[in-house]
Amino acid sequence: MSYFFTSESVSEGHPDKVADLVSDSLLDSFLAFDENAKVACETLVTTGQVVLAGEVNSNIYLDLQSIARNTINKIGYTKGEYQFSGDSCGVISLIHEQSEDINRGVDKESREDQGAGDQGMMFGYANNETEEYIPLALNISHRLVKMLSKLRKENGAIKYLRPDSKAQVTIEYDDNDTPKRIVTIVVSTQHDDFANEKMMLETIKGDIINILIPRVKSQFPESIQKLFDSDIEYHINPTGKFVIGGPHGDTGLTGRKIIVDTYGGKGAHGGGAFSGKDPSKVDRSAAYAARHIAKNLVAGGVSDEVLVQVSYAIGVTKPISINVNTYGKSKVKLSDGEIANLVNQIFDMRPAAIEDRLKLRNPIYGETAVYGHMGRNPETVRKTFHSNYNGTIEKTVELFTWEKLDYLERIKSAFSL
């Protein structure tokens, strides 16, 4: 019997994502000038206000208010009618130094013995239903809101868009977990006010179906394009009006979109957020490492679907446990426990080893804060950071290293594939 699965995504202008972007922009600036900085930064945004809180250990000083304002302006909150603007909002910084009781568990005499920055369990997931090895409903949802942002910034085909938006996609699967059709697409997008409400609804719905959907559909291979049929049920701005949005419409907080950030409800989540945390926090680094393992296992032919769990104790170097679940889809004659044992031999999951393998002590996090941390394209970019106190620095960095399929040969050798 067929079943349905739904995932959602949100745009860079969603209040929670504004908070994530500010937190990761602050983190990137610290790491650009001090690669050993310890950062755990939380952001709250609401009408006309930004509150920065958290803990930082660093040997540099930054103008945090300017970084926050520049990030908000870059998103597109630049107009007074939004009731939230990078140029006019208040920015309050309550950031202080990291607790010595935490730091003593992380920093050790030998960097290789670096302890985990916290206890907890982290998950990595991958399946083979998309080229990105992430669930299809999440993939489509990300592309919908990303394309809305692009259309807004082009200010051509659709001129009335504002920064805040959300998308949700429901897909019907058959008994073999193969997508059969897209059942429902929900899009809620903030917009300028219209004089005529009836015309407003008709215009927005028409533009979403006739401009947005075809652009997103064209990005997929033909096998997925076929799922965009004429029977899709659309819910476009279902409340009827979405003029008040962003931090003025809803308070935003760092780390409140962790399912959007990961696998759209597939697999599992340990509960730890990512944005604003330097890689000594295994909530972030170990989740990336687990995704790296899961993706390489699926791409390497071990299983069509994989969930990897890793757990840590604060201050302890080696993980407490590593678990692998292949959902009965394994292609090798090994139990999930035996697969986990091989994974433990192939991948060094000590915190310092993860940082080095995935090059996580670089300013690479602003790009992760929106449209998902997983399923992205690895690339090398040149980034520039400016500080009134530390000058200007340029860095060449690799983005989304945990998405690289660089362990395929080792996996195939270990699993005799």
What is the distance between the alpha carbons of residues 200 and 191, in angstroms, rounded to a whole number? 9
Percent of the chain with pLDDT over 90: 88
- pLDDT for 206 equals 96
CB 10 within 8 A of CB 260: yes
> What are the tokens at 385?
């950071």
Neighbour count for residue 280 (Cβ, 10 Å): 29
Residues 6+ apart with CB under 8 A from 4: 170, 171, 172, 173, 183
343 near 325, Cβ under 8 Å? no
pLDDT > 80? residue 187: yes
Instruction: Report strand pairing: 379-387 vs 391-399.
Output: antiparallel
User: Span 91-118, mean pLDDT?
Assistant: 72
Residue 108 reports pLDDT greater than 70: no
User: Given pLDDT bands bounded at 50, 70 and 90, which one contains residue 106?
Assistant: low
Who contacts 321 (Cβ-Cβ below 8 Å, separation ≥6)? 309, 310, 311
Q: Is 197 left (phi over 0), alpha (psi -120 to 50) or beta?
A: alpha
The pLDDT tens digits for 261-285 are 999 999 999 999 999 999 999 999 9
Is the pLDDT at 346 greater than 60? The verdict is: yes
pLDDT score recorded for residue 243: 92
Say how many C-beta atoms besides its own lie within 10 A of residue 131's C-beta. Answer: 11
Given a cut of 80, whether residue 99 has pLDDT beyond it is no
Mean pLDDT of 384-393: 92
Q: For residue 198, name the pLDDT band (cuts at 50, 70, 90).
A: confident
The domains found in the chain, sorted by start residue, are 3-10+135-245 (3.30.300.10), 120-128+279-414 (3.30.300.10)
CA-based nearest residue to 375, from 300, 307, 292: 292
3 state SS of 38: strand
Strand-pair partners of 309: 123, 323
Residue 279 per-residue DSSP state: T
pLDDT band with cut points at 50, 70 and 90 for residue 97: confident
Are 1 and 26 contacting, i.e. CB atoms less than 8 angstroms apart?
no
Rounded mean pLDDT of 239-249? 92
pLDDT at 67 over 90: yes
Count of alpha carbons within 13 angstroms of residue 264, beta-carbon side:
27
164: pLDDT strictly greater than 60: yes
Tokens of 101: 């009781």
- Specify the pLDDT at position 157: 82
> 317: which 2 tokens?
């170097």
Q: Cα 408–304–223 angle (5° rounding)? A: 105
Measured in Å, how far apart are the chain's first and last C-alpha atoms?
33
Q: Which residues contact 81 (CB under 8 A, 6 or more apart)?
A: none
Is the confidence at residue 107, as pLDDT, over 70? no
- The structure tokens listed for 233 are 């049920």
Cβ-contact 363, 386 below 8 angstroms:
no
Q: What mean pLDDT is predicted for residues 60-67?
A: 94
Nearest by Cα to 383 from 15, 13, 27: 27
- Output the CA–CA distances (angstroms, integers) from residue 90 to 48, 127, 190, in the order listed: 6, 44, 23
Nearest of 136, 118, 160 to residue 351 by alpha carbon: 118
Report which of 76, 73, 74, 99 is spatially closest to residue 87, judged by C-alpha positions. Answer: 73
Q: What is the mean pLDDT of the chain?
A: 94
pLDDT of residue 109: 61
What pTM value is reported for the model? 0.95
Residue at token pair 């910034």 = 153
Q: Which of 70-79, 106-115, 130-139, 386-395 has the lowest mean pLDDT?
A: 106-115
Burial-class residue 36 by CB neighbours within 10 Å (0-12, 13-18, 19+): middle
> What is the CB-side half-sphere exposure of residue 310 using CA atoms within 13 A?
31
How much is the average pLDDT of 14-24?
98
Q: By 3-state DSSP, what share of the chain in percent is helix, strand and coil, each rounded to 5?
A: 35, 25, 40
